[in-house]
Chains A and B, each alone.
Chain A
Amino acid sequence: MKKNSNNSSINNSDGNNALVSLNALDKVFYTDDIETHALDKIDFSINKGEYISISGPSGCGKSTLLSILGLLDTPTGGQFVLAGHDVTTLDKDERAKIRNEKIGFIFQAFNLISDLTIEENVELPLSYRSDISKLERRKMVKDALAQVDMSHRANHFPSQLSGGQQQRVAVARAIAGKPDILLADEPTGNLDSKNAGAVMELLDKLHANGATICMVTHDPRSASRAGRIVEIFDGKLVADRQSETPNAIAV
């Protein structure tokens, strides 16, 4: 384990196996005359198959970092390499394509679309891919729902499900397209402890099956389930260490 609280350039991953690589990444917000550095020279990488948690206090920049990792936002400076490709300056459509094929999202507020059924929600990212036939798409949806044990609710609407069930559906949606990396933003933030535990177990299971997971959380117990814990403070990466109790039950 390496720890350097004074240097935001910390990298303990194996550079040859890096799925994500951030080099001196900056994100500055401008409001009137005020300049806010949400991320400040972040150097950081994630290897394939790694389970990493990003934690820190509110407003430290962890969600901004996750948004940039998910190509939902663009950095102001620095470089972002994903699966060997520089994605820093891609145009909107190229970013959308990468989001669709290589990234799966799990949000705190589930973000299921209320007008679509569970099955349609899971199918949503697949419907934007032209390389998958309808039949194949159906099978992928079925498999994803089976993995989260939600097949029996396929024709329901999100409002008919509990929070925990909705988050499981969100996980199914994230994994349905077999992405390279799963990005989870406070996945248990809106859940009670029982449902939170179930979702964390689901993530553990996915990781055990080889998924790369990057999770933002401010809950130390959830963070400790990841193999690697990264801490951010005031937009700087202040700690990057291996967890002492990876995959422990966080209750």
Chain B
Amino acid sequence: MKLFNVKNLIRLLVLMVVYGIIQYLFINKAINPFYMMTLVLVCIYIILAVSQNIITGFTGQLALGHAGFMAIGAYMSALVVVRMQGSLVAGIIFGALMAAAAGMLIGLPTLRLRGDYLAIATLGLGEIVRIFFLNMDYLGGATGFSVPKTIDWTWAFWLMALSVFLMSSFINSSHGRACISVRENEIAAEAMGINTTKYKVMAFTMGAFFAGLAGAIYANYMYLIHPGTFSFLKSFEILAMVVLGGLGSITGSVVGAGVLTIISAGLADYPEFRMVIIALVMIILMVYRPNGLLGNKELKLDFLRIKKKG
């Protein structure tokens, strides 16, 4: 696959326009810092949702430990930045790599499990990670760990764009196809000579890497990280974004993450009703659109595409 084909150039152009408009509005004070924060959170959740989708939507493995990987990324990057006085980039890379390493370590034994057993095992691992950080007084423990805010909207947006691009390239590669075959029929895939364990671990490691990256962005943006933020409810939230957007659709995850985060911020003026409304949105959307907003289709820039045929 060529990196600089027309399609990618158009995508890049669209991204630049989106970035430019928001940046312009922000500089002109048309977007207040609260909405700016919401947009950065949208970027973070997009990375989380798409990486969860790689594991669950494309490879078919129901894992519920994403908050754990996010926590590893967040705490490890904070370790580098605060305790070791490292640079932000070093922190982010270290955080993501540590999460990926943890993903691989956890994936190797647990990915033998199927379906709901995998779900509960990964959920348990995510909780173990949280309890570990809760007991780590060196990294703030129960009080939380203060991290200076060094990430801004520009960083978050372009890291998000890069992550989504890398993950969608992975899905469209032969490795990605192999992952999809594992989802469709594991036994048939194995019979076709695909090393299913290898691809499952690969997808899992990749998902963990980007979850760690999102966690690192979160840590360096939100001033304070706290073990309570990374409970299993966060994993549920991420999974909900993926399923609401559509399993197996990258743009679906983008939409799902955007919808849930923006609804939550938009309802900030009605604190008592906020979570009840979000719960109802989840139920109603699922009952009426069980395959998610986009199903497994992708949202395409059709109207921009140069027509090849008819």
Q: Do A and B come from one complex?
A: no
Partner-A contacts on B (CB < 8 A): none
Partner-B contacts on A (CB < 8 A): none
